[in-house]
Amino acid sequence: MAITRVRDRLLMIGIALLVCVFGVGSFFFADEYHINDNWLLFAWVSFLAIAIFARAFRAHLKQPFMMPFLAGLTVVHGLICLGLIKWKVPLLYWLPVLIVEFSLSAWAAYRFFGVIPSGDI
């Protein structure tokens, strides 16, 4: 029991370090190769959305309609975040906007496919 707890904590620290290295590295290479920062931010918020949506809908991931649906949600999430950045929306308003976005995503999944996301996000 104690060994698995230590192993899990070491894995968590290792993954956190990898995320930091990839994050800093991606901005370094974007600067080096003159890639627009908006594309980079779009990619990172999309990766975050993939993790959130995949966890919420993990019981339904094997259904054929789910991957295109989640890809669409990811693109919409990235565009919303880019819009919030472009229009310089204060961070105070980001949380309500994202709550509405995720709520509408869950509603769309239920309305169109009869899928209910799990509540353990």
Q: Quick one: which of 113, 118, 112 has its CA closest to 59?
A: 118
Q: What is the pTM of this model?
A: 0.75
The pLDDT assigned to 4 comes to 87
- The string of pLDDT tens digits covering residues 18-42 is 989 998 999 899 999 999 888 888 8
Give the mean pLDDT of 109-118. 82
How many contiguous H segments (helices) and E segments (strands) does the chain have? 4, 0
